[in-house]
Structures are given as structure tokens and as C-alpha cells.
Structure 1
């Protein structure tokens, strides 16, 4: 397996994910929902992983939604569930400006994240094409385990 590591600066992350990563480095057709574009490209849904999600009240393994990407990366540091937080605060009677601020995580950041893109070794595709089902399952399990180990 190879791992591409990319430092993402403030303002770049949202475009980077939506244009390159979440649909397998392909172009997402206009007005196509994210999940549908991922299915068409054969790309699995993004999942929250590692220790960070728990600090935000997210479950590790939970699916990453387009709204969460927009909030966290497109809005430069809003909580992934900022829309829900803001709605809850408005329902509790907070003024709109205070409700909006309740969804903020950071004021300013120059580096908003580090992206790890995991790819199978170039020798794996022939194994996937010609191997039997058991071989496919072993390769897939090893790949998934390697991702978990790197993130640990």
C-alpha cells in the first residue's frame, strides 16, 4: 500500500475534498448528490476515523456527509454539525449571531488538516482480477487493517 500525505491549508480543504478525493480523483457531475457520485465512481463513503471525532461528539466510523465537509472545511472551522447546533440554539431562544457562533470551532487556522490517501500497491490489481474470492477478501482485509494501523 502507498500513502499520499498532503497538508491542507485554510480555504483549500473543501475544494480539495469535493473535487479530488471524495469521488476518487474524478469530476463530480453538476447537481449530483455526493453519495450518488461516490457510488458511480466506485468510491466508498468517507468515514470519521481516529481520535478526533470523539472530541466533536462524532462516532468513529460514522459516515461523513457533504454538509459536514462544508461546515468543517468550507466554512473554515465550523463544527461538522454546526447546522444542527445553530438550529438547536435558535430553538432555545439565542439570538442568530450567538447561535451561529455556537457552531464555531476555531477563529483562524492556516493549516486545517492533513490528508492521508491510501492506495493499494500497483501489483494488487492483477490479484484482484485473477484471484479467487478468498484472495480478494484477504487483500481487502489487509488493506483495511493497514489503514487502521497508520491512523493509530
Structure 2
């Protein structure tokens, strides 16, 4: 397996994910809901992963919505549930300015993310394409496990997994 690593700069993350990642290598037709575009492209929905999810009120494996992507990766870096947080604060009498500031995550930085794209070796693509359903399931499971292991390694800050 190879891993392509890309640095995403502030202000680019949301457009990058919507144009390059969440619908595969294709373009999403205008006004097509994200989930529908993913189904048309044969791309599985995004799922939240990682140790920091609980702090944000997210659960591992929970589907990533377009609104969450927009909130998290826009220019301000807002909480994935920013719209809900703002609405709750406004309903409790907070000023619009306070509600707007309450959902910001951290401070603004030049680099907002690192993108890891996991690609199986070309022979694995062929095996998947020509194999039976069981072979495909095993390949997908191995691919997903490799992604989990790399994420664990990054979060632990230790030596790479073997």
C-alpha cells in the first residue's frame, strides 16, 4: 500500500474535500446532495475516526455530513455542529456575536490539515476487480485496517506500525 500525503492550507480544505475526495476523483454535479453524489460515484460515505471525536461530541463511525465538513473546514474552523451550537445559544438569549464566536475551534493557522490518501498496489486493484465477492470483502477489510493502524500511529506519535 502506498500513502500520498498532501498539506492543505487554510481556506482550501472545504473546497478540496468536496471537489477531490468525498465523491472520488469525479466532479459533483451542481445541486446534487452529497450522499446522492457519493452513491452515483460508488464512493462510500465518510465516517468519523480518531481519538479526538469525544471532545467534539462525535462518535467513531458516525457519518460525516456536508454541513459538518463545511463547518469544520471553512475559513474559521468551526465545530462540526456549529449550527446547532449557535441556535442553542441564541435561544438562550446570547448575542449573535457571542453565539458566532462560541463554535470556533482553536485559532486560525496557515496549515489546517494533512490529507492521507491510501492506495493499494496495482495488483490489488486487479485482484479486487477480477476476484469474487469474498476476495473483495477481504481486500476492503485489509485496506480499512491499514487506515486504522496508520491513524493509531499518528495519534500515538510513536514508531510506525509493523
Q: TM-score range by the shorter chain?
A: over 0.9
Give the drift of 1:125.
2.2
User: What is the match of residue 147 of structure 1?
Assistant: 147
User: What is the match of residue 120 of structure 1?
Assistant: 120
User: What is the match of residue 100 of structure 1?
Assistant: 100
CA RMSD of aligned residues (A): 1.2
User: What is the match of residue 157 of structure 2?
Assistant: none
User: What is the match of residue 21 of structure 1?
Assistant: 21
The superposition leaves residues 28-81 of structure 1 with CA deviations (integer Å, 9 ceiling, x where unpaired) of 100001111111111111111111222212111111111111111114211111
Give the drift of 1:121.
1.7
- Length, aligned pairs only: 152
Partner SS, residue 45 of structure 2: coil
1:84 equivalenced with 2:84 (yes/no): yes
Q: TM-score, normalised by structure 2?
A: 0.88
User: What is the match of residue 43 of structure 1?
Assistant: 43
Structure 1 residues not aligned, in runs of 5+: none
Moved more, 32-41 or 51-60: 51-60
Give, in whole Å, the separation in 2 of the partners of 1:76 and 1:39.
Answer: 29
Give, in whole Å, the separation in 1 of the partners of 2:96 and 2:53.
Answer: 26
Give, in whole Å, the separation in 2 of the partners of 1:5 and 1:144.
Answer: 17
Q: TM-score, normalised by structure 1?
A: 0.94
- Moved segments of 4+, more than 2 Å: none
Partner SS, residue 118 of structure 2: strand
Note if contact 2:10-2:111 (Cα within 8 Å) is conserved in structure 1. Answer: yes
